[in-house]
Structure 1
Amino acid sequence: MGKGESVWIGEKDTETITAVQPPLATMVFLHGFGEHINRYNHMFPRFTQANIEVYAYDQRGFGKTGLKNQNLGITGGWKVIKEDITDALKVAKQPGVPLILFGHSMGGTLALRYAVEGSESKNISALLITSPLLSTDRVNDSAVTIGTGLSKVLPNLQFNTKIDIKYVSRDPNECLKYANDPYNHPYWSLKGASDVFRGAKSVLKSGYEKITHPIYLAHGTGDQVTSFDTSKELYERLPSTDKTFRVWTGLFHESK
């Protein structure tokens, strides 16, 4: 198994964990809201042990990137995010090697939207989506509408999402680790948030019709951060002929 290497590319802190060459597949991972890639250091080696090369990066406004640039939660919006995902997929892509796009929570929504709209979508061999932020009981339609309107005037206005950490995991120790992690934060920009929710809405409305990639979608039935029912609904409507819906009975937003 290769050794992880942290490097700077543009404004994004990245992590590349290399498998034995040539790899069975390469994978780009998109983390969720408020967190960072090092939270997944327990998971990446499992992929490399299966000879899958992993490429991940702290998204703009989050993790080391957000702290370094002092722009917590300011993502630049979907146009910038889409370009970042494109860059990551191009870096990870190898001739003749399947390319996987994996997204968790907010990252899951971004991955799904990219599969619909992204310029490298045709080169994605499979999608791996966990607990996507497609809808949530904590944000109503009126709030999204108001936020979207304000984002046109004050796109970088930051607000505290007031994340309820007890719903991250059923394991209190994991919740405590999340709360004490110096690279986690609850801040988002109006444009960043509105673009994610508008993107989720577009996928659910009609965008899903273009998602014909093989897809593995997983969600916990006890998730109180994002909606299990919406993930199930999306899965049932997806036109992909190679799809799997993994139900994590009773589990919260994360599988621990």
Structure 2
Amino acid sequence: MPESREHPDAVPAESREHTLTGARGALFVREWPHPRPRYTALVAHGYGEHSGRYAGVAGALVAHGASVFAPDHAGHGRSAGERVVVEDFEDVVADVHLVAGLARAAHPGLPLVLIGHSMGGLIAARYAQRHREELSALALSGPVIGAWELPGRLLALDEIPDTPISPAALSRDPAVGAAYAADPLVWHGPMKRPTVEAFARMLRTVDEGGDVGSLPVLWLHGDDDRLVPLPGSRVGVERLGGALTERVHAGARHEVFHETDRAETLAQLTAFLDGALGR
């Protein structure tokens, strides 16, 4: 199996590996354990990437008192499935729920928080609609939610163009883009029509799926995010509701956890979790 490449500032953290039986076959899960955790955290990664790119986030959460669990979604990273094909995002939500069960079994009774980036933000939003009673907090980073125009534009074409994500769109830190470009577990090809269709369906589902009540929600976004523009996400975040905390980063691109001001972003995340968890 190829080695993953984490972003250059990744905080070293001991990790364990699990394999569960997900909706589409073998589901690979990374765990960054804490010897005496105060809470558990789930991390849902974005399109075309994998959980190993979140070692820095996991390191900050472990230092804050969490045990962290993060799956490679079906068709991504080290999990089973045709590369980057997601036929139904409800299956991916079910997989994340399976990982939540793993976390609860390891640490019964602890609060559970969910952090989703980009496509993972769409997954996390739907998870919160379906299972909000299980969550103590929800954090969304550059979430694909609301008025995201890309699926409609692509589906209007006879053929989806072979235009991979530009590494420069991720962060102002060139080392982040370089690590992404060299990572063999990242998908560097075009989007696939079944996945684009699934995105379009799930965007509608979340829009119509109701709010999340009083659940504490943190929304993090870069105001120079050209992959998932901020105004479109705002529409979805406002519909999702919850007790919202908004943090927009001036000049930041798509991956705020890997941006040049990532220490500030991680501090915002842990401060939000302190408030949500009553600590």
TM superposition score category, shorter chain reference: 0.7 to 0.9
Gaps in structure 1 of 5+ consecutive residues = 151-157
* Aligned twin of 2:139: 128
Matching of residue 80 in structure 1 with residue 81 in structure 2: no
SS at match of 2:92: helix
> Against the structure 1 CA distance between its residues 160 and 57, is the aligned structure 2 distance closer, same or farther, given a 3 Å change threshold?
farther
The aligned counterpart of 2:196 is 193
Q: Give the letter aligned to residue 214 of structure 1.
A: P
Residues 1-256 of structure 1 aligned to structure 2 (within 5 Å): 3-10=14-21, 11-21=26-36, 23-65=37-79, 71-93=82-104, 94-116=107-129, 118=130, 120-134=131-145, 135-137=147-149, 139=150, 141=152, 143-144=154-155, 160=162, 162-185=164-187, 186-204=189-207, 206-240=208-242, 242-255=243-256, 256=259
Separation in structure 1 between the aligned mates of residue 48 and residue 40 of structure 2, nearest angstrom: 25
| Aligned-pair identity (%) | 26
Q: Per-residue displacement from partner, 1:81-102 (whole Å, max 9, x unpaired)?
A: 1220221111112443111111
- 1:6 aligns to what SS in structure 2? strand
- Measured on the aligned residues, the alpha-carbon RMSD in Å equals 2.6
Checking the alignment, whether the CA contact within 8 Å between 1:2 and 1:19 is kept in structure 2 is no
Shift of the alpha carbon at 1:146?
7.3
Shift in Å, 1:195: 1.7
Q: Is the Cα contact below 8 Å between 2:148 and 2:233 reproduced in 1?
A: no
TM-score of the two chains, using structure 2 as the length reference: 0.76
Pick closer, same or farther for the CA change 1:161–1:200 going to 2, 3 Å: farther
1:162 Cα offset (Å): 2.2
CA distance in structure 1 between the aligned counterparts of 2:153 and 2:49, rounded to whole angstroms: 26
TM-score by length of 1: 0.83
Judged with a 3 Å threshold, the aligned counterparts in structure 2 of structure 1 residues 188 and 13 are, in CA distance, closer, same or farther, namely farther
Aligned AA (2:232): T
Structure 1 residue 128, shift from structure 2 partner = 0.8
Contact persistence 1:113–1:200 (CA under 8 A): no
User: Is the Cα contact below 8 Å between 2:125 and 2:240 reproduced in 1?
Assistant: no
* Structure 2: segments with no counterpart, 5+ residues: 1-11, 260-279
Please list the CA deviations of residues 52-102 of structure 1 after superposition, one character each: whole Å capped at 9, or x if unmatched: 110011111111225xx5x21123422321220221111112443111111
Q: Is the 8 A contact 2:19 2:29 kept in 1?
A: yes
Shift of 1:208: 4.3
Structure-2 separation of matches of 1:170 and 1:191: 31
